Structure 1
Amino acid sequence: MSDPTLITLISIGVTLFFMMGVPVFLVIAYWVIGMSYVLDLQLLNMGAALQDVFTDGFALLAMPLFILTGDLINRSGIARRLSDFAYACLGWIRGGLAMASLGACGLFAAISGSNSATTATIGSMLHPEMVKGGYDERFSAATAAAGGTVGIIIPPSIIFIVYGFLMNLPISELFVAGIIPGALMVLGMMLACFIICWRNGWGYLIALSPLRVFKTGLGAWLGFFAIGLVLWGIYTGKFSPTEAAGVTVGFGIIAGLGSWVISKTLRMDQNKDWSEKSTISMLVVEGFTIPQIPGIVMRSAQITGILAPLIAISVVMQQILSLLGAQEVIGNFVTSMGGFYPILFTAMAIVFIFGMVLESLPVTIILAPILAPIAANIGVDPVHFAVIFLVGASIGFITPPYGLNLYVASGVTGVPYFKLLRYTVPYLFALISVWILVSLVPDLALILLPER
């Protein structure tokens, strides 16, 4: 049997595995092993490649630390305070609670850097509240899924770390470049959310209270401090993204333990009056105890244990695709489009299509080395193209048949996957509109960078 026939059969086989629900990591691994057999490559090469990814990738150390940060922030109660603040600001508008959940996703993303963590955290907290508040449960779950897309765009971002590692770009610059596009994604989804809620009359309104906004904002000061600490440190160069991840983990542990100690002390102190206790309680969160930390770390380790092997095996997949000439085929197809905009939009379409069937990590590892040089050749700034690429990849989180955030939202809310699809359409239009805008206006990504 000829090699092309074997390649076709193996590819069809793993595609069937994917459609049957086999984990993406195993699907890619089966394909890599099969291709290694066809191309007569030693499996030892695969092991060496996997080792090189993590021994040479210092920047990748930030990934498990930011995942841990998100879990610490969630477990300590800081995420809940951020959600309360967002609702206090937007609850007076039709669809305010749904818009607040999108805003809370943006705030949580600015600490965690993970799309799935953002969707799971905000969805589990606010979906029940939205249903009680008069929203359709399917729309509520779809809103959490859509809000999670900004998890990989608003810095710190795990996928920006991977992209910078692959393409040898300053991760700090990528982080800063994602600020405005990420904010525009949130605002675009908020506009879509408002229109849908206004047309359907969803959501109960609350009066706009400056005092409530002030109190909830004061109660969320730890979250704002964490966001400011990360952005300040990276933007000023005080520490690298990897060091920033370590700093935020330390902050999360100190804030969680310290808040628990203060809260317990207040409950035991009989000398302070009620108003004094209330004021102090507003400034601290629920926190967690030292015995609870191993459980939090274990949860983060489980997520890292899924993502890290996926990154490694996707790197090997990219190497095999290069040997098969896939890079040349895709590259020739894109460059054959002719002018600047046809090439750029063709590259964006390829990212969008791949994002429909693959998670952002393999999409980035497979396509970035192919498309980024083509974009550079036609004059697209490498950092600008990184933002274009990853905004497009993030949209894949709510596009079937893969749509990772849809699965996460379905899992935490109990709403069946296929019932979410209809309600993601307005958010898809909003995100695609922002994506096109970011691609046409480079300053949206580059204006905050120094010496630009």
Structure 2
Amino acid sequence: MADGTWITLISLAVTVLFMLGTPVLLVIFYWSILCSLVIGLPLDNTGNELLNVFKDGFALLAMPLFILTGDLINKSGIAKRLSDFAYSCLGWLRGGLAMAAIGACGLFAAISGSNSATTATIGSMLHPEMTKGGYDERFSAATAAAGGTVGIIIPPSIIFIVYGFLMNLPISDLFIAGIIPGALMVLAMMGVCFVVSVMNKWGVLIALSPFRVLKTALGAWLGFFAIGLVLWGIYTGKFSPTEAAGVTVGFGIIAGVLSYPINKMMKVDQNAPIDEKPVTSMLTVEGFRLWDVPSVVERSAQIAGILTPLIAVSVVMQQVLGTLGAAEVIGDLLRSMGGYYPILFTAMAMVFVAGMILESLPVTIIMAPILAPIAASVGVDPVHFAVIFLVGASIGFITPPYGLNLYVASGVTGVPYFRLLRYSTLYLGSLLVVWICVALIPDLALFLLPNR
């Protein structure tokens, strides 16, 4: 039997395994090993590649650290304070709580760098409040899922770290390039919230109170400080993204551990309504005890333990694809499209389709090394293409049949997956508009970069 026939059969077999619920890690691993045997790649090469990913991947150290940062921020209560601030600013508008959920996703993403953590945290906090406020439970859950898409675009972003590592691009440049597109994604989704809420008359309006805004801003100062610390350090070059991740972990532990005894001494009821809390109580957050830190670290390690092996086996898969000539085939297909825009939009279509069936991590690791050089050959700026690529990958989080954020939102809210699709498609449309704008206007990604 010819090699091509064997590879086709192997691909079909692992596709069936994936559809039956086999973890993506095992699907990629099985395909890589079996195809290596078919084409004659020695298995010790697989071991060497897996080792090299971790031996040479200093930049990847930022990934588990930012995951831990998100968990610490959530555990300490800082994420809740950011949500309160967003609601105090937007609650006077129809759909204000839904827009606050999107805004809170943007603020939390600026600390955690994770889409699933953003969806789970904001969804679990605000979904009950939204349903109490008269919002449709499907819309509430879909809002949390859609808001989480900015988790990998607004810096710091775990997937930007992976992309920069793979393509040898400055991670700090990628972080900065994601600021404006991430903000546009938030604004576009807020627009959807407003229009849908006005049409359905959802939400309980609150008066716009400058005092309430100021009070909640004061209460969220630790979150703002963490965001500013990361962006200032990376933008000014004071520390690398990996160092920034370490700094924010230290900050999260110190803020959480110190706040806990202060709250006990002040007898602060963190669950009381904001208007009933004294201003002085807004200077601290819920906090946690020092011996709670290991359990938080353990949870973060579990997530990192899922992502890191996936990166490693995807690099092996990338090598197998290279041996099979996949890059040449896709390259010939793209080049046959013609010039700048046909190639760019064909590449975007490939990313969109891949995002429908795969998580952003394997999509990035497998496709970026193939598509990015071709885009660069027709004049697409590498950093601009990185943003285009990853905005498209983030849209995959709410695109069926995979739609990871839809599964996460369904899990934390109890709303069945397929019931989310009615409203998630509205958010999907707004994000597609932003994606096209980012592709057509390079300055949306490059404007803030120094020396550009």
Alignment of 1:85-96 (within 5 A): 85-96=85-96
Aligned runs of 1:108-257 on 2, under 5 Å?
108-257=108-257
The 2-side partners of 1:192 and 1:266 are apart by 42
1:256: Cα distance to partner? 0.2
Identity %: 77
Partners of 2:250 and 2:337 in 1: CA distance:
50
Q: Is the 8 A contact 2:94 2:202 kept in 1?
A: yes
User: 1: distance between equivalents of 2:42 and 2:124?
Assistant: 45
Residue 40 of structure 1 deviates from its aligned partner by 2.2
Which residues of 2 match residues 53-68 of structure 1 at below 5 A? Answer: 53-68=53-68
Amino acid aligned to 2:167:
M
* Amino acid corresponding to residue 427 of structure 2 in structure 1: Y
Q: Secondary structure at the match of 2:205?
A: coil
Partner of 2:292: 292
Residue 374 of structure 2 is aligned to residue 374 of structure 1 = yes
Whether 1:428 and 2:425 are equivalent positions in the alignment is no
Q: Which residue of structure 2 lines up, in the alignment, with residue 106 of structure 1?
A: 106
Query: 1:21 — aligned with what?
Result: 21
Q: Deviations over 1:384-404 (max 9, x none)?
A: 110001000100000011111
Q: CA deviation at 1:335?
A: 1.0
Report deviation, 1:279: 3.1
TM-superposed CA distance for 1:5, in Å, is 1.5
Asked if the contact 2:215–2:279 (Cα under 8 Å) also holds between the matched residues in 1, the reply is no
* 1:394 pairs with 2:391: no
Give the SS at the match of 2:316.
helix
1:265 to partner: Cα distance: 2.3
The CA distance in 2 between the partners of 1:341 and 1:354, in whole Å, is 20
* TM-score using structure 1 length: 0.97
Question: What amino acid maps onto 2:433 in structure 1?
Answer: S
Superposition RMSD in Å: 1.2
Structure 1: how far apart are the matches of 2:332 and 2:430?
31
Residue number in structure 2 paired with 1:415: 415
Cα distance in structure 1, aligned partners of 2:142 and 2:182: 19
Q: Find the aligned partners of 1:197 and 1:18 in 2 and give their Cα distance.
A: 38
Aligned-pair CA distance for 1:278? 2.9
Distance 2:17 2:203 in 1: 42
**Which moves more between the two structures, 215-224 or 277-286?**
277-286
Deviation for aligned residue 1:79: 0.1
* Matched letter for residue 293 of structure 1: V
2:3 partner letter: D
1: CA distance, partners of 2:145 / 2:15? 25
Deviation, 1:54, is 1.0
Alignment correspondent of 2:384: 384
Number of aligned residue pairs: give it.
Answer: 445
Q: Which amino acid aligns with 2:345?
A: F
Aligned-partner Cα distance in 1 for 2:330–2:134: 48
Higher mean displacement: 40-49 or 370-379 = 40-49
- Deviation of 1:202 (Å): 1.3
Report SS of the residue matched to 1:88. helix
Q: Secondary structure at the match of 1:400?
A: coil
Deviations 1:325-384 (A, max 9, x none): 111111111111002111110011111011111111111111111111111111111111
Q: Deviations over 1:47-93 (max 9, x none)?
A: 21111111101100000000000000000000000000000001111
User: Residue 39 of structure 1: CA displacement?
Assistant: 1.5
CA contact (8 A) 2:60 2:165 kept: yes
Give deviations 1:168-210, integer Å, cap 9, x for gaps. Answer: 1000000000000000000001101111111111111111111
**Partner SS, residue 208 of structure 1:** coil
Q: Is the 8 A contact 2:135 2:202 kept in 1?
A: yes
